[in-house]
Chain A
Amino acid sequence: MPSKRKVIALILNILKYAFLIAGAIFTVLPFVWMIASSLKTPAEIVQVPPAIFPKAAQWSNYKVAWNAAPFAKYLLNTVIVTVCTTIGVLITTVLSAFAFSRLEFPGKKLIFSLFLATLMIPGEMLIITNYITIMKLQWIDTYQAMIVPWISSVFYIYLLTQFFMQVPNELYLAAKVDKCSDLKFMLRIMVPMNKQAIITIAILNIISSWNAFLWPLLVTNSDGMRVLSHGLIRFQTEAGASYELIMAASCILVMPIIIVYLFLRKYIIEGVTRSGLKG
């Protein structure tokens, strides 16, 4: 009967790939549709039945969209906010994780539990008061309003503390005997040894900062301070039915992150997996 078994195996195999490919098509469909639409002419956009791909790619759509709203300014704002937030997050995360994993101080356990407990608080609940705080600080419509509340993340601190704890304590003691200060040990030993974890945290933070929407929407009100996601929503209402332009603008927001993802997906996938399994 081996031939029958072989046939069944072959059929199962084909079904397996068929299902995986179908799923993959479902997953990438919106991306394909976005890119394809962004290259269509206005006539192709409203064509019934719709053609998936344009006859000729209208790259000029990007130029038109780019100039239709101050996207250059939005992009700059997004980059500023993302870069500053990420640098801030890395500094505070490394410092805190080092304190929790290596230094001794009274109330350490209590503070660590407190930190962990805040993971259960939905950020949505804090936004009202934080908005008031930003208002009182007179930070509305400033970069610091978009940056400062996000330069420390308990979640990343927890993640990095776990990594730091895995470094044998003997290394710390050895460094001490070798006249290495705490700060120097952190920078020369802990940070390079956990380079991977730190890069992962940086990338995860870049993605979330880049995609942030609600908070920047709340704390900014002038056009000059808008970030890309906010600008895109505005553009969507202004552009009306010019979907080719809206899709081009969407591409501008989505593509940088996708490129980052394709190059650094190892870090991202590992980071999200780790955080998922631990959280």
Chain B
Amino acid sequence: MDIRIENLTKTYNDCHAVDHMSLTINDGELVGLLGPSGCGKSTTLFMLAGLTEPTEGKIFFGDRDVTKIPPEDREIGLVFQNYALYPHMTVEDNITFPLINRGMKKALAREKALEMAKLVKIDQLMKRRPGELSGGQQQRVAIARALVKKPQVLLLDEPLSNLDAKLRVETREEIRRIQQEVKITTIFVTHDQEEAMSISDKIAVMKKGVLQQYEIPQSMYLNPANEFVAGFLGMPEINMMEVDVKAGVISTSGITLREGVKIPDGHYHAGIRPESFRVAEDGISMNAERVRMTGRDLLLFTKLGNTPVRVLVHSDLQLAASDSFKASVREGHILVFDKEENLMGRY
């Protein structure tokens, strides 16, 4: 089932929680709604679920306008951040609950529940209560409960935020696997860019209720639409600096970064990702003020003229604090932004 959102807006007391948002999600895609807290991503999800009424705009599931349809008739599965499992019911009762509400016979409902439990690998926990399960197991039960009624759309609200770091990586792969097996259009909300990038087919980045960019992860990372998206994606964070362009030369505090570009002369913002530097003999000379070992990489804290920058190099390069090194910026990895903070181009 593909989803079309048109001009979706939610206003609370003159404040736009979601502001004229439009996007289309293709059938079977996994889309991450990404943004800092308070950006309107959860509001969007709840509008898709039908739990929040939009102020303006329309939502289509396939050709059906569901804007005015109550949640129970939208054929959606919803997983909450805290899972919202019924604590007094067993896992089995939790999973069969939506089916029995729809008037299904108990025996059949149990059969369907077991099938779903096998898919999410909790079939041996059917008689337990949620309180006796780990966070990751509860998450699987919640997903099973959401999927058991064979919804057309699966919605997940911050599905991993209540898990510890190791479990989070494991569970997100599980979500991806389950989603691919069931081939269900899925939308999940997260504030973690790494999470969004690692499992989404497409990411929608939001800021203050406004959709900033909607793209497949790789393109978005390479071609962020604006400074916000550039800053929000990537860890360690992108280096932002002031640059001057004069006669096709980009420079920052007198240091030439690139020659022969076709941009009008002027003052701009530019972003260079830490991993966009390449150690090169003919590069810019820099001094590593601090060095942090992260395993595969070394993170160097240095200065490009007056601007503090972070540079990521391979840890084979044995550098210590206050060592100097030479590096240049890889072709096409300087992101230049205009006055409106939108991307002008990569140089």
Q: Which residues of A contact B (CB under 8 A)?
A: 168, 170-171, 173-180, 184, 189, 192-193, 195
Whole-angstrom CA separation of A28 from B51 in the bound complex: 57
Q: Is the CB of A170 within 8 A of B72?
A: no
**Residues of B with C-beta under 8 A to A171:** 84, 86
How distant is B131 from chain A, measured CB to nearest CB, in Å? 12
Q: Is the CB of B78 within 8 A of A179?
A: no
Q: Is the CB of A193 within 8 A of B101?
A: no
User: Other than the known A189-B88, A192-B88, what 15 A-B pairs have Cβ atoms closer than 8 Å?
Assistant: A168-B84, A170-B80, A170-B82, A170-B83, A173-B49, A173-B80, A174-B145, A175-B97, A176-B71, A177-B74, A178-B97, A180-B97, A180-B101, A192-B89, A195-B88
Whole-angstrom CA separation of A177 from B50 in the bound complex: 8
Q: Is B149 an interface residue (CB 8 A)?
A: yes
17 contacts between A and B (CB under 8 A): A168-B82, A170-B81, A170-B83, A171-B86, A173-B49, A173-B84, A176-B72, A177-B71, A177-B74, A177-B76, A177-B77, A178-B97, A178-B101, A179-B72, A180-B98, A184-B101, A192-B89
Count the A-B residue pairs with Cβ separation under 8 angstroms: how many?
58
Known A-B contacts A178-B72, A178-B149; the reply to A173 vs B98 at CB < 8 A is: no
Q: Is B166 an interface residue (CB 8 A)?
A: no
Q: Is B38 an interface residue (CB 8 A)?
A: no
Q: Is the CB of A177 within 8 A of B72?
A: yes
Whole-angstrom CA separation of A173 from B81 in the bound complex: 12
How distant is A77 from chain B, measured CB to nearest CB, in Å? 37
How distant is A144 from chain B, measured CB to nearest CB, in Å? 35
**Residues of A with C-beta under 8 A to B105:** none
Partner of B101, one of A170, A179, A195: A179
Report whether over half of chain B's contact residues are helix, strand or loop; otherwise say mixed: loop
**Residues of B with C-beta under 8 A to A184:** 101
Partner of A193, one of B50, B78, B82, B88: B88
**Residues of A with C-beta under 8 A to B80:** 170, 173-174
How distant is B140 from chain A, measured CB to nearest CB, in Å? 15
Q: Which residue of B72, B74, B81, B149 has the most chain A CB atoms within 10 A of its CB atom?
A: B72
Interface size class of B (residues with CB under 8 A): 20 to 34
How distant is B162 from chain A, measured CB to nearest CB, in Å? 12
Q: Which residue of B81, B84, B87, B145 has the most chain A CB atoms within 10 A of its CB atom?
A: B84
Q: Is the CB of B101 within 8 A of A174?
A: no
How distant is A158 from chain B, measured CB to nearest CB, in Å? 23
Q: Is B339 an interface residue (CB 8 A)?
A: no
Q: Is the CB of B86 within 8 A of A193?
A: yes
**Residues of A with C-beta under 8 A to B72:** 176-180
Closest to B98 in A: A178
How distant is A178 from chain B, measured CB to nearest CB, in Å? 4
**Residues of A with C-beta under 8 A to B145:** 174, 178
How distant is B12 from chain A, measured CB to nearest CB, in Å? 15
How distant is A164 from chain B, measured CB to nearest CB, in Å? 14
How distant is A184 from chain B, measured CB to nearest CB, in Å? 7
Q: Is B102 an interface residue (CB 8 A)?
A: yes
Contact digits for B29-62, partner A, Cβ 8 Å, 1 yes 0 no: 0000000000000000000011100000000000
How distant is B88 from chain A, measured CB to nearest CB, in Å? 5
Q: Is the CB of A189 within 8 A of B86?
A: yes
Q: Is the CB of B98 within 8 A of A179?
A: yes
- Which 3 pairs from chain A and chain B are nearest by CB? A170-B84, A178-B98, A179-B72
Whole-angstrom CA separation of A178 from B73 in the bound complex: 9
